[in-house]
Amino acid sequence: MTDHERSTGDTQPSLSRRDLLAGAAGLIGGAALAGLPLAADGQSPTPPIAIPQNAVQPTPPMRPVAPFDATKRLGAPTAQVGSRSEFYAPTRTPFGDAVGSSLSPLQDLTGTITPADLHFERHHAGIPMLDPDRHTLTIHGLVDHPLTFTVHDIKRFPQVTRTHFIECSGNGAAGYRDPKPELTPQRVAGLLSTSEWTGVPLATLLREAGVRPDAKWMLAEGGDACLMARSVPIAKALDDALIVWAQNGEPLRPAQGYPLRLLLPGWEGNANVKWIRRLELGHQPWMTRWETSKYTDPLPNGTARIFTFEIDAKSIITSPCAPQSLVEKGWHSINGLAWSGRGKIARVEVSTDAGRSWRDAELLTTPQPKATVRFQHMWHWQGDEAVLLSRATDDAGFVQPTRTALIAERGIGTSYHYNQIVGCKVARDGAVTFHGAT
């Protein structure tokens, strides 16, 4: 929202009558609270206007001041590395811990690809610094030829480039357990990101090593300070698993596994082991700490599902969202993201009446397997209170359930794989809040 914040009014160019009129209209329409840019003539944004601030408002970051007329001033020179517009400063939510997570600012992003520096983070022992000239990947266990590959070796194999999301299976706990109105999409579902990944199919490497017929599971181990380890069924390893080294056109970011990571399309984030250094093939799962004490799903009947790898069909509206405000009545684009770990998104529906009726949303991108799609529903807001919801269906037949249905199935205290329908509530004055009680 930093790009939407309005300055408290310092160095301002002289105001035209039109500007003043626009400012007045904004005040009447509630724009002073929302801080949304205004266009008096519907064509060009007006320059910043001094608007008296309400005393109870949080202090917004200082808004950059642009030249009044950029066509009359020489622009900035070229640079070695680009940077974002000063008017756009999206951030993750780091807690400053080595063991922890940082959420992607979903409400500030468009399309489906997550800029690499805004990809969510979840580390169990911090981000290791690995030298790509020394890092290796070893495949051993139930193989005919135990092999070690350098990063350079990996890049000699035929490569593939595919777009997939990664979602931490803990994504959405806050919106499930305690759906507070102030929750933003970042807080509700920010442990989700999508990238274009480049790497080698793991099947290619495994064929090189020669998988023995009795190999049923594979232990994937990372080179971080906890030697993160997860057991993966061999069928997945031979199906669509990748060893990737690049993300969105450049090498992986350290936080995403530089120089190599395992990618298991559609499977819970933790199993996509970063900084991958070792793959051991065996008969049974290893029962590591993460796949037993952590990433298991308690059920109301006093059991817990183990090895729940697949990410369930899910969606979230990212615009509008809390804590924005709708300023104008009339047409608005309701849009957001939908994804499933079981295949392609087949359908996304949007409701503007709290789930009483649903309409098919437009899919703005062609659905790909185990990748996010952006959906849109054009909505004419007439100033009434409204609850906006989205519901995804995948081509495997899974439909996103309501929170009530998911609680009945899994219990309020369950952990992981929260894919309940969520949305937002638009008040008469345009204020938008999270709506999680579905």
Partner 1 sequence: MRPTKRIAVLALLCAAAACTRADESSVPQYGIGKPATDSAVAAMNYDISGEGAELPAGRGTVAEGTALYAAQCAQCHGKNGEGAGPGLPALVGRDPKGEQFQFANDPKLVHTIGNYWPYATTLFDYIKRAMPLNAPGSLADSEVYALTAYLLAANAVIPDTTSLDAATLRAVRMPYRDRFVADDRKPGAR
Task: Considering the complex, state which of residue 315 and residue 318 has its C-beta at the smaller distance from partner 1.
Answer: 315
Kindly identify the residues of this chain, within the stretch 121-180, that bind partner 1 according to CB under 8 A.
124-125, 138-140, 144-149, 153, 156-157, 177
Task: Considering the complex, state which of residue 23 and residue 285 has its C-beta at the smaller distance from partner 1.
Answer: 285
Task: Considering the complex, state which of residue 194 and residue 340 has its C-beta at the smaller distance from partner 1.
Answer: 340
Task: Considering the complex, state which of residue 82 and residue 302 has its C-beta at the smaller distance from partner 1.
Answer: 302
Closest distance to partner 1 from the beta carbon of 398 (Å): 6
List the one residue from 210, 233, 254, 355 that touches partner 1 (CB under 8 A).
Answer: 210
Q: Which residues pair with 200 in a beta bridge?
A: 243
Q: Does residue 382 interact with partner 1 by CB under 8 A?
A: no
- CA dihedral 307→345→235→282, nearest 10 degrees, is -30
Task: Considering the complex, state which of residue 314 and residue 425 has its C-beta at the smaller distance from partner 1.
Answer: 314
List the one residue from 103, 406, 422, 432 that touches partner 1 (CB under 8 A).
Answer: 406
Q: Does residue 332 interact with partner 1 by CB under 8 A?
A: no
List the one residue from 102, 186, 193, 414 that touches partner 1 (CB under 8 A).
Answer: 414
Q: Does residue 225 interact with partner 1 by CB under 8 A?
A: yes
Closest distance to partner 1 from the beta carbon of 99 (Å): 4
Q: How far apart are CA 400 and CA 315, in angstroms?
A: 8
Q: How far is CA 336 from the centre of its chain?
A: 11
Closest distance to partner 1 from the beta carbon of 66 (Å): 41
Q: How many beta carbons lie within 10 A of that of residue 400, not counting itself?
A: 26
- Relative to beta strand 160-167, strand 100-102 is unpaired
List the one residue from 112, 193, 270, 296 that touches partner 1 (CB under 8 A).
Answer: 296
Per-position b or e across 198-232, b if 16+ CB within 10 A of its CB: bbbbbebbbebbebeeebebbbbbbbbeeebbbbb
- Tokens matching residue 387: 């609850």
**How wide is the angle at C-alpha 378 spanned by C-alphas 376 and 383, nearest 5°?**
130
Q: Does residue 93 interact with partner 1 by CB under 8 A?
A: no
List the one residue from 29, 199, 266, 285 that touches partner 1 (CB under 8 A).
Answer: 285
Q: How far apart are CA 399 and CA 52, in angstroms?
A: 48
Find the part of the chain contacting partner 1 (CB under 8 A) among 52-60, 79-87, 277-285, 424-432.
Answer: 277-285
Closest distance to partner 1 from the beta carbon of 173 (Å): 10
Q: Does residue 438 interact with partner 1 by CB under 8 A?
A: no
Find the part of the chain contacting partner 1 (CB under 8 A) among 36-44, 82-90, 93-101, 349-357.
Answer: 93-101
**Side-chain-side CA neighbours of residue 384 (13 Å):** 9
Q: Does residue 73 interact with partner 1 by CB under 8 A?
A: no
Q: Across the beta sheet with 345-351, what order do the strands follow?
A: 359-360, 345-351, 386-394, 423-426, 432-435
Residue in 364, 366, 339, 336 with CA at minimum distance from that of residue 351: 336
List the one residue from 62, 378, 412, 427 that touches partner 1 (CB under 8 A).
Answer: 412
Residue in 209, 264, 255 with CA at minimum distance from that of residue 233: 264
**Side-chain-side CA neighbours of residue 165 (13 Å):** 37
Is the bond leading into 320 cis (omega within 30 degrees of zero)? yes
Task: Considering the complex, state which of residue 99 and residue 427 has its C-beta at the smaller distance from partner 1.
Answer: 99
Q: How many beta carbons lie within 10 A of that of residue 191, not counting itself?
A: 23
Q: Does residue 413 interact with partner 1 by CB under 8 A?
A: yes
Task: Considering the complex, state which of residue 38 and residue 127 has its C-beta at the smaller distance from partner 1.
Answer: 127
Burial label for 192, CB within 10 Å (0-12, 13-18, 19+), is: buried
Counting residues that bind partner 1 (by CB under 8 A) gives 76
List the one residue from 120, 197, 307, 379 that touches partner 1 (CB under 8 A).
Answer: 307
